[in-house]
Amino acid sequence: MSSHIVNVNESDFQAEVLLHSNQRPVVVDFWADWCVPCRTLDPILEKLTEEANGAFRLAKVDVDANPKVANDYGVRGIPAIKVFRNGQVVAEFSGLRPEPQVREFIKALAPATSDLNVGRADSLLTDEEWSEAEEIYRQVLDENPDHPGSLLGLARSLIAEGASSQALPILRAFPVSKEYAKAEQLRKQSLILKAGNSTKKTMTLWLHSSTLHCGWQAEARSSRPWMACWISCAEIKSIAKLKSVALFLVSLLYWETRTRKRVPIAPN
């Protein structure tokens, strides 16, 4: 049996299907020995799994041996096919279908090549490989100029490389999508970054990756600035990132000290 095909039971369904579906789609085939249509559908599913070469996993569940799993997921007749992604059922069908229809069903599960490349670039962005991530985002945008994930990722990589002025046009013309709110927030933060050491009373410095969020705000109030620093360190996964945060905060304290307004005391 292929390494992409597994027999699953009630004891390992959580690990082999639900948890594994966070990595790639898992197609669950609910079947039984006495089911004649299952004998026709099973070879089709196995063939398509081999052709996909790891794009998804095929998990086979014998409903007679594992009635609880079948009942939990509302299986009323077999064969029943349910697709899991991120622990949830995202597609399904029941009954026997000809190979062309099953092939189209499976084809719809595979993420587009552009999405796979964006995922790779996002990982590079997380690892602070800014220029490498930028290159991949640009390659995706060459084929699909309005791809929201690539546009947002490109803007983030440019900002991380200190090129906020190049990121702003991307964010200003960002297409309406589920990423729009993030792009708008990033646009506002980029404007402040671009302003640099201007006379603005409020400055926010924002650095983002999937493993680090660090923000700083200094605001003039009653001619005496105050400073608030916040760090979400729950996902910091390396000493290098922790050192960069420490260096960042030291820089902030230095800036606040150098720019603090001193109000002279009027003589009596």
Residues of the chain with pLDDT under 50: 197-237, 261-268
The domain made up of 112-195 is a member of CATH 3.90.25.10:
no
pLDDT value at position 121?
Answer: 86
- pLDDT one-digit tens code per residue, 234-252: 444 455 555 555 666 666 5
* CA–CA distance, 126 with 129 (Å, rounded to integer): 8
pLDDT value at position 218?
Answer: 37
- At the top level of CATH, which class does the domain 5-107 belong to? alpha beta
- Which of 188, 199, 118, 202 is CA-nearest to residue 152? 118
pTM (global) more than 0.75: no
Bridge partners (DSSP) of residue 202 are: 219
SS3 61: strand
Distance of CA 102 to CAs 41, 109, 249, Å? 9, 11, 56
Is 214 an active-site residue? Answer: no
pLDDT value at position 249?
Answer: 62
**How far is residue 141 CA from its own chain's centroid?**
18
Bridge partners (DSSP) of residue 80 are: 30, 94
* CA–CA distance, 64 with 75 (Å, rounded to integer): 12
Q: What is the DSSP letter of 54?
A: T
* CA–CA distance, 54 with 50 (Å, rounded to integer): 8
Both tokens assigned to 217: 């705000």
Both tokens assigned to 150: 């690539």
pLDDT value at position 111?
Answer: 66
Q: Domain spans of the chain?
A: 5-107, 112-195, 196-262
pLDDT value at position 222?
Answer: 35
Bridge partners (DSSP) of residue 206 are: 215
Are 5-107 and 112-195 the same fold in CATH?
Answer: no
Report how many helices (DSSP H) and strands (DSSP E) the chain contains, helices first: 10, 8
pLDDT value at position 9?
Answer: 96
Is 229 an active-site residue? Answer: no
Please check whether residue 79 is in contact with residue 28, taking contact to mean a CB–CB distance below 8 angstroms.
no
- pLDDT one-digit tens code per residue, 85-138: 889 999 999 999 999 999 999 888 766 667 778 888 888 888 889 899 999 999
- H-assigned helices in the chain: 13, 36-52, 67-72, 99-107, 113-126, 130-143, 148-160, 164-172, 180-195, 239-259
Please check whether residue 29 is in contact with residue 62, taking contact to mean a CB–CB distance below 8 angstroms.
no
pLDDT value at position 229?
Answer: 41
Please check whether residue 17 is in contact with residue 5, taking contact to mean a CB–CB distance below 8 angstroms.
no
Catalytic residue selected from 38, 214, 229, 233: 38
Bridge partners (DSSP) of residue 60 are: 7, 29
